[in-house]
Chain A
């Protein structure tokens, strides 16, 4: 290619923009058809022969997020430098959630037992045993059985009073509604309407450690996060922490738990790596928490507290988190074990700054977590 595509005749410009949008989509920018229209309209207002103007026309219309900007720049440089739309295929498939939490299929034969009709009580108690069993000790069949139960979890968050008023039986007099009722009755005074501040559930923020030491629990915790997201999609934010911070709120909004977990697994680059809790928590607070995500929220941090970095940094960041959030709940799966003492460096640094420390190693422990969140 000798000439940059921008300089070619105007007639072809639509093709060029459509091709560019394809490149952008490969790069991970959601450049839909309406955005293509917008870019064409924008270019029409500017000088199409000027690369800088085309750059801005595209950037202003095709992007919708600060994270889009570097992708856009790369794609733009690639496409308008005479390259073709063949963008490097998006990454090698990341390890999925299921791969990361390996369980050996043992020859467990609890289901094909010799007694053909297990009595109801036996089944019920088996369920009960499953609920209390540590998720790392489950066989694959048991795990499959338990997975269906996650959909039943309803992590509801306690409410807080908002500025907004709602109708109430008593409380302050609602002037607007009273007068509106009067108007309807031709100006005759009737019943007084009252109003009170409405309650709105707080935001729930889940921070899930996906480092190597936590990977056996990651699947279970992510299913919990999915249940919470299903319960209140707009009020739940989920991040994974490890060596870096990844926001997986969007993938978790998929309805099907397995699809959601697979999509989340794709998004997380640092699966089963190390942990730099302090640094990653700082990144969370800088990018999201302090701007509002953690403000007045219930923050649930799921980690075993194995910190590779400096535990004092973790302590400082948790203190910051504690000042922003309404409640900080730490879920440590090891707490479910006999003789647990918060001995890891990270855990010791964290203890003064958390409101509650709960287990989370079994389904029953997660049910308990639902309770804790509901009353926080």
Chain B
């Protein structure tokens, strides 16, 4: 991708990402830089809400590329990920060609049925056709393991072969970002072809910076309070520790209520934005909020 060519080291990429509003740490910037340079898919694992999906969005913005997202789910198959033929339109075409004519050449007619205009491109094919692009394969762990084998094939040669049409190859291979929440272990064969990065929760300073970046109106005091409290929440052993996405939501909720700093009443009222289990909420009320109230 032309935009990426100018970025000569991980720091340059980090700066470019920062300009889009995504604040990476050293490891993540290096990972993204290598993925671009080596043409390897980037495999991101980590807790939900630590910014795996947003990285792909930010990379697309930096690279001036289209973001194509493939959300995986149980039962996804090639016709939903790659391409499908538009059967009803083919039938219509066939009927239209036949109507009122007797001298139709069957071979030519059949050939006209399997052309690009009747092909519906699904995310992977779309990413290959529209280069430059960033292909985000989200939550690969939700798809079945047969799907991984299929992905391997596509990722290996950046091309899609359609039996009736031939091979469609990407002019510029898409930058592929895979994310996983680790609900299932992804096969080694797939991981081996990727750069693997574990995305951890951000440190205090970076979280404050992210909050201020995402919510420009927020007061410094509130950003720091939220970051500190969320950090504390991650320590108290919850069923679902809050990620960055939750702290942004929470800060936004507090801000909408007109808070300039975190006070116990508003914190209790907006707790639903940051913890999503009843047991967790009870525990937070007993520990973190109690501490906050002093």
Chain A residues within CB distance 8 Å of chain B = 30, 32, 34-35, 38, 41-42, 45-47, 52-53, 56-57, 59-61, 63-66, 69, 162-164, 175-176, 179-180, 182-183, 186-187, 234, 286, 290-293, 295, 320
Check if B204 is an interface residue, CB within 8 A of chain A. no
Task: State which residues 180-197 of B face A: CB under 8 Å.
Answer: 181-185, 188, 191-192, 195-197
CB distance from A351 to the nearest CB of B (A): 21
Nearest CB in chain B to that of A197: its residue: B75
Check if B95 is an interface residue, CB within 8 A of chain A. yes
Nearest CB in chain A to that of B198: its residue: A66
Task: State which residues 81-110 of B face A: CB under 8 Å.
Answer: 87-88, 90-91, 94-95, 98, 106
CB distance from B164 to the nearest CB of A (A): 11
> Please, which residues of chain B bring their CB within 8 A of the CB of A57?
30, 34
Nearest CB in chain B to that of A180: its residue: B87
Sample (9) of A-B pairs whose CB atoms are under 8 Å apart: A35-B192, A60-B197, A61-B196, A66-B45, A163-B73, A175-B88, A176-B87, A234-B145, A293-B184
> Please, which residues of chain A bring their CB within 8 A of the CB of B182?
66, 291
Q: A45-B37, A179-B90 are in contact. Are A162 and B30 (CB under 8 A)?
A: no
CB distance from B249 to the nearest CB of A (A): 20
A42 in contact with B191 (CB, 8 Å): no
Among B45, B73, B75, B113, the one with the most A-chain Cβ atoms within 10 Å of its Cβ is B75
From A42, A46, A162, B75 is in contact (CB under 8 Å) with A162
CB distance from B32 to the nearest CB of A (A): 10
A292 in contact with B141 (CB, 8 Å): yes
B75 in contact with A175 (CB, 8 Å): no
Nearest CB in chain A to that of B98: its residue: A187
Check if B203 is an interface residue, CB within 8 A of chain A. no
B195 in contact with A293 (CB, 8 Å): no
Q: Is the interface of A mostly helix, strand, loop or mixed?
A: helix
> Please, which residues of chain B bring their CB within 8 A of the CB of A34?
192
B30 in contact with A163 (CB, 8 Å): no
B145 in contact with A64 (CB, 8 Å): no
Q: Is the interface of B mostly helix, strand, loop or mixed?
A: helix
Cα(A164)–Cα(B10), bound, Å: 42
A162 in contact with B74 (CB, 8 Å): yes
For chain B, the bracket of interface size reads 35 or more
A179 in contact with B38 (CB, 8 Å): no
Cα(A57)–Cα(B35), bound, Å: 11
Chain B residues within CB distance 8 Å of chain A = 9-10, 26-27, 30-31, 33-34, 37-38, 40, 45, 73-75, 77, 79, 87-88, 90-91, 94-95, 98, 106, 113, 141-142, 145, 181-185, 188, 191-192, 195-198, 239-240
CB distance from B198 to the nearest CB of A (A): 5
> Please, which residues of chain A bring their CB within 8 A of the CB of B198?
63, 66, 69
CB distance from A35 to the nearest CB of B (A): 7
> Please, which residues of chain A bring their CB within 8 A of the CB of B26?
52, 56
CB distance from B59 to the nearest CB of A (A): 15
Q: A61-B195, A163-B73 are in contact. Are A183 and B30 (CB under 8 A)?
A: no
Cα(A18)–Cα(B185), bound, Å: 27
> Please, which residues of chain A bring their CB within 8 A of the CB of B9?
46-47
Nearest CB in chain B to that of A64: its residue: B191
B195 in contact with A60 (CB, 8 Å): yes
Among A64, A179, A286, A292, the one with the most B-chain Cβ atoms within 10 Å of its Cβ is A64
Q: A64-B196, A164-B75 are in contact. Are A183 and B90 (CB under 8 A)?
A: yes
Cα(A183)–Cα(B92), bound, Å: 10
CB distance from A117 to the nearest CB of B (A): 52
Q: A175-B87, A187-B91, A293-B184 are in contact. Are A46 and B30 (CB under 8 A)?
A: yes
A183 in contact with B195 (CB, 8 Å): no
> Please, which residues of chain A bring their CB within 8 A of the CB of B75?
162-164
> Please, which residues of chain B bring their CB within 8 A of the CB of A162?
74-75
A182 in contact with B91 (CB, 8 Å): yes
A42 in contact with B38 (CB, 8 Å): yes
Cα(A69)–Cα(B46), bound, Å: 13
> Please, which residues of chain B bring their CB within 8 A of the CB of A32?
192
> Please, which residues of chain B bring their CB within 8 A of the CB of A175?
87-88
A-B interface, 9 closest residue pairs, ranked by CB to CB distance from nearest: A292-B183, A179-B87, A164-B75, A163-B75, A56-B30, A64-B191, A291-B183, A187-B94, A60-B195
